[in-house]
């Protein structure tokens, strides 16, 4: 609520400090393991799969992607799914 002015629980908050032209990524990522557990149960997903999805989501934000419009949200989900499948193949 203090960071984004929203009055609901979230699974992750990413504070990205890098500019798109920077060579390195700088960000703070805050992860709520309790919220991830709740989301996993709500969506019928294994906990570790949901944890990986949230970590990927946070990394995408750190890299400069956003999900503020329906189009960018759809793009984020597509990227999350692609990354998640790659990670889970290991």
- The pLDDT tens digits of the residues spanning 36-72 come to 999 999 999 999 999 999 999 999 999 989 999 999 9
List the CATH number of the domain containing 30: 3.40.390.30
- Residue 43 included in any domain: yes
Interval 19-33 mean pLDDT: 90
Does any domain span residue 25? yes
Total number of domains constituting the chain: 1
Q: What is the mean pLDDT of residues 2-14?
A: 73
Rg (CA), the chain: 13
List of residues 6+ apart from 20 with CB closer than 8 A: 64
């Amino acid at each position: 609520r203090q960071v984004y002015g929203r009055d609901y629980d979230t699974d992750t908050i990413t504070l990205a400090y890098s500019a798109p032209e920077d060579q390195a990524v700088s960000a703070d990522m805050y992860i709520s393991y309790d919220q991830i557990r709740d989301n996993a149960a709500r969506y019928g997903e294994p906990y570790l799969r949901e944890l990986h999805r949230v970590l990927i989501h946070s990394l995408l934000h750190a890299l400069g992607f956003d999900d503020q419009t329906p189009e960018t949200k759809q793009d984020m989900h597509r990227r999350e799914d692609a990354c998640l499948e790659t990670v889970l193949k290991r």
